[in-house]
Structure 1
C-alpha cells in the first residue's frame, strides 16, 4: 500500500521533504511523489564540482566530501524506473549523475560516511545492514512497481544478495565497474559485458592514487625539514656549508617521499617480489644507494639513508594495497604484521649510523 503522508526522519534523510542540508548547487529542484519531495540531481558538473573533485583527489576535505544519504531522482523516473544504489561520497555521486545525463532513474544513497563504494564495502558501511535500513527508511517500495536494485560490482564484498532477497524481497543485479558504462548496461537490458566487469589497475589508475598518498605522507617531508635543520646546525660550518648540508639532507628525504608516493605506483608491476612491502622496500633501497652517490653522503650517512629509505618506502608502499585489484584484506593485514618490526629495526639502525657519522665528522673537524 502506498504511503500518502511524508514520514519524519531523524537524522535528516533525503527523499521526504525540502531540507536545509539539500540546498546544494547539484540539486536543481524536487519531484513530488505521494506528498514526498524527492531532490532532483543535476547531471551537468560545474566548476564547483570539478574544484571539489580536485581538492578531494589531493585529500583536502576528503572526509567531508559527501552528500546527504537518502533517495534522489535523476531525470523523470516513474514507477518502472531503475533503482541504483551508491555511496554518499560526493565524487562517486558526481560520476553517476554525469554518466546518466538524459536518463531517468532513482538513486538510493547509502550512508558510507563519505567513503567510496569499494572501500566502504571492505569496511562494512556499504553493506547488507545499511542497504536494508535505507530501503525501509526511504520506503523505496512505495515508489516503484518492481523489486530490483542495481548495485555497483565493487560493492559486492559488502552486500549479501541472498540476504537482501530473503529479508526484504529485493533482487540485486550487479552493475558495471565504471559509472561510464551504466548507459550501455541499462540500454542492453542489464546485460554486462566482460569489459564492463573488468577492474583495471594500469598506470593511469595507480597514478590517481598518488596525489592522496603524497598529501597524507606529509610527515615524511616534515621529518625531512627537521633532520635537515639539525644536520645544518651540527658542526662548525659557515653559512654556505650549512645551507648545502640542509639542501642535501632534505633532498635525500624528499627522494624517499617521492619514491614511496609517486615512483612506487608507477613501477609497481616491474619491482621484484610479491608483497607490496617487499616491492617498495627494494625501491627504497635503490633510492638510498642512488641518493647517497648523487648527494655525496659518505659511507656512514649513505648507509643510514639506504636503511631509512628502504624502511619508509616499504611502509608507504603498503598503503597502495587498499587500492589494488590483487590484494586481500587478510593478506594486507598479514603483510603489515610481518613488515612492521623489520621496518622499525631498519629505522633504528639508520638513526644509530647517522649519530655515528656525525660524531666521526665532528672528530675529524677537531
Structure 2
C-alpha cells in the first residue's frame, strides 16, 4: 500500500483507496527528486479511482493525470472535502502536456470511467476536468462513450475548494493562465540537472580542443584555454536556463531564442571581460559566440513549459532559431581552434 493511502471506502464495486490530503516526508522527498529531474521520468501513481474524506454517491468526481506532482497538488487542496478522484493513465505526464500528446484524451477518460465502473459508484453523471486538459478532450464524445458529462474546473488545483463551494462555477481569475516568478523559478533546477551528461562531454571536448595549437597539443593550453571555454559554457547555461525564466516578462520579444541571444550576449561579454588578460581578439569573439548559442538554445526549452507558445509556435520558433544557433556555435568552435595560430 502506498504511503499516501490512508484506508479504504467500501463501494458497490469494492474498496476504493482513500488518500491523505497532506504530504508525508516520503512525498516531500519525491517532490525534491522530481523537481531536480532525478525521478521525473517515472514519478507517477497507479491509475484508477481514489477518494478523499468520506464521499457518497453524490460527491463530485475530479479527474486528473497520474503524474504524482499533479496528483499531490490536487489531493492536498481537498482537506475537509468529500470527493472522488479519477486518475487517468497519462504515462506519468502532467495534464497540459498529456493533453497535447493525446494522452489526457477522450479515449483515456472513457476507458478510465468504464474500467473504474464509476457509474456504479456515483449517482450523478458529471466529471470535473482540469481546464488545461480541454485541448485533448471532446466533451460530447466522452458522454457518448461512458455516459458522463464533462465540466471544466479551474486551472489551478488551489482553486478547487472555492470552485466546488460555488456550485461548480469558476470566476474569471480561475480561468486565467498566469506564469509568475515562483512558477518560472521552479523550472530551473530540472533544466540544469538534465544537462549533466551533455556537460560532461562538453568539458572533455573543451579541454581536448583547447590544447590544440602550434605545438600540436599543449597540456598547459588545454588547462588555461579549457578553463575559459568551460566557464563560457557555464555562463551560457545560466543565461539560458536561469536568467531567461527569471526575467521572462522583462526581456523583449515573444519568442524565446532571441531572449536567449540577449542574455547569452551579456553573459558572453562578462566572460570575455573576466578572461580579458589571457585571450586574444579572435578567442574572445569565439567565446562570446559560443555562450550566446548555448544560451539561446537552452532558452528554447521553456517553449514547452509556458503558456506563451502553442505547438505550431514552438515549431516556427525552432525553424528560425536552430540555424542561427548552429551557425554561431560552429563559428565559435572554428574561431577557438584557429585563435592559437594567430
Q: TM-score w.r.t. structure 1 length?
A: 0.87
The match for 1:346 among 310, 323, 328 is: 328
Give 3-state SS (helix, strand or coil) of 2:247's partner.
helix
- Once the two structures are TM-superposed, the CA of residue 103 in structure 1 deviates from its matched residue by 1.1
The match for 2:72 among 76, 94, 103 is: 94
Partner of 1:156: 134
Equivalence map 1:184-333=2 (5 Å): 184-230=162-208, 233-234=211-212, 243-296=223-276, 297-333=279-315
Partner of 1:6: none
Asked whether the 8 Å contact 2:49–2:87 carries over to 1, the reply is yes
Partner of 2:39: 61
Q: Which stretch has the larger CA shift, 224-233 or 275-284? A: 224-233
Asked whether the 8 Å contact 1:126–1:155 carries over to 2, the reply is yes
How far apart, in 2, do the equivalents of 1:313 and 1:220 lie?
A: 14
Q: Which stretch has the larger CA shift, 289-298 or 76-85? A: 289-298
- Once the two structures are TM-superposed, the CA of residue 270 in structure 1 deviates from its matched residue by 2.3
Partner of 1:177: 155
| CA-to-aligned-CA distance 1:219-238 (integer Å, 9 cap, x gap) | 45324422442366456799
The match for 1:334 among 294, 316, 321 is: 316
How far apart, in 2, do the equivalents of 1:336 and 1:242 lie?
A: 34
1:127 and 2:105 are equivalent in the alignment? yes
1:26 and 2:4 are equivalent in the alignment? yes
How far apart, in 2, do the equivalents of 1:240 and 1:305 lie?
A: 19
Judging changes above 3 Å, is the alpha-carbon distance between structure 1 residues 238 and 281 closer, same or farther for their aligned structure 2 residues? closer
Asked whether the 8 Å contact 1:261–1:317 carries over to 2, the reply is yes
Asked whether the 8 Å contact 2:256–2:303 carries over to 1, the reply is yes
Partner of 2:29: 51
How far apart, in 1, do the equivalents of 2:306 and 2:71 lie?
A: 22
| CA-to-aligned-CA distance 1:97-142 (integer Å, 9 cap, x gap) | 1110121111100000001111111111011111111111111111
How far apart, in 1, do the equivalents of 2:252 and 2:283 lie?
A: 26
| CA-to-aligned-CA distance 1:65-111 (integer Å, 9 cap, x gap) | 10000111111111101000000001111111111012111110000
Q: Which stretch has the larger CA shift, 67-76 or 261-270? A: 261-270
How far apart, in 2, do the equivalents of 1:343 and 1:209 lie?
A: 22
How many residue pairs are counted as aligned between the two chains?
Answer: 338
Give 3-state SS (helix, strand or coil) of 1:99's partner.
coil
Give 3-state SS (helix, strand or coil) of 1:109's partner.
strand
Gaps of at least 5 residues in structure 1 are 1-22, 361-366
Asked whether the 8 Å contact 1:92–1:116 carries over to 2, the reply is yes
| CA-to-aligned-CA distance 1:116-170 (integer Å, 9 cap, x gap) | 1111111110111111111111111111111101011111111111222233332
| CA-to-aligned-CA distance 1:17-70 (integer Å, 9 cap, x gap) | xxxxxx211112222212512111111211110110011001111111100001
Equivalence map 1:64-75=2 (5 Å): 64-75=42-53
Give 3-state SS (helix, strand or coil) of 2:133's partner.
helix
Asked whether the 8 Å contact 2:153–2:168 carries over to 1, the reply is yes
The match for 1:147 among 115, 125, 128 is: 125
